[in-house]
Chain A
Amino acid sequence: MSNILVVEDDSDLRDTYAEILEFEGYSVHGVGSSADAIDSLIKLKPDLVILDMQLNGESGTVVLSFIRKYPRLAATKVIIASGFVDMGMRAREWGADMFLAKPITAKLLISSIEGLLREQTERLHNLDSGS
């Protein structure tokens, strides 16, 4: 069972993401601030992070920088989920694997997560087999 961290300061939306993902069988942990996000990243080492960029405390870019610098999180996939639609053009250069503009339908969210986790599994498999 894959482990997903939802970093979203709007508690209603955080709960909605959690309901959708738990229904699909994922283990989900939600936080609303960058400080809590960094704590959870260290403790949980999630397979995937859904990251809002405007958070309580420091911005989501701080969380994203932490993920990309912390070696234990090298395989962690990151989806930026933001209402700033134009941010999509810069998401990749910040180190995110994907950008989704809010509102994200349940179908799109699930298919995006499935695609990234499949990619992650294949990559880890290739590393294990030395190819």
Chain B
Amino acid sequence: MSEQSPSLSTSVLLLRQMSHEMRTPLAALINTGDLFAGGMYGKLTEKQQKAADRVQRTSHRVLTILEDFVSYVKAESMDYPLIDEEFEPRKLIAGVISQIGNEAKKSTIPIQIMTPDNLPDKIIGDKSAVQRILLALLWNAIAATHHGSITISSEWSAEKGWIINIQDTGTGISKEDEEHIFEAFWRGKDRPQVSTSGCGLGLPLARSLARVMNGNLVLVKTSAEGSLFSVELFQKLPHL
């Protein structure tokens, strides 16, 4: 029974070990925070409840940062294990928007969905990775958009698979920032951070995951009227 794969590089193995070492105390912190906030240790005053909610929220954020970082390094090293499964693309988009709605309570920007008739009901791919890509792109769009709307439109072709375009009506990205938006931990000075992790890994992780799937993520255009990102995901049809 071997617990480690010999094919992994030393740095990825070190990262894997560090992730394990952090997850264990983090598990105790998250569980205890959840129990406090859930009232298992008794009824809390309003002030105590706010503090417990803060501990709960922050500990979950630390986990998100850790998971994003580990996934980013693995994807960059092409050591990210893809798990293919059948899923419904329309449902996936709706699920991601619902998740965003629960977390981005302060955002009132409407999100529109446009799917073509030829988008298959079911496709095969790494559903979890696609969800993470879409989440990162939507958080990025929400961060930049104060008025107007965000539109998620899809394209499907047998050759290219599923292409998702995210158009926002936000403030756009400056020339200076444009060169760096896919760099890990880059925080543009004009780009407010609203993401759940907020540490500058959303877009770099999304691009790396798309590339692991033999796809890509690009910024198609940006101006003071908004930005358009496009991600190609080489998903397959179930019968292929």
Contacts and interface: CB of A to CB of B under 8 A. Distances in A.
Contacts of A19: 35, 40
B32 A103 contact: no
Interface residues of A, number: 29
Majority DSSP secondary structure for residues of B touching A: helix
A13 interface: yes
A54 B1 CA distance: 13
A35 interface: no
Given A16-B31, A61-B3, A87-B3, A103 B26 contact: yes
Interface stretch (B13-21, B94-102, B134-142, B197-205): B13-21
Given A61-B1, A83-B19, A105 B24 contact: no
A102 B1 contact: no
A17 B32 CA distance: 9
Interface string B98-132: 00000000000000000000000000000000000
A84 interface: yes
Most B CB contacts (10 A, CB to CB) among A16, A54, A59, A94 go to A16
A71 B23 CA distance: 34
Interface of A: 10, 12-13, 15-17, 19-20, 23, 52-54, 59, 61, 65, 82-87, 89, 94, 101-106
Interface of B: 1, 3, 5, 16, 19-32, 34-35, 38, 40, 63, 70, 81
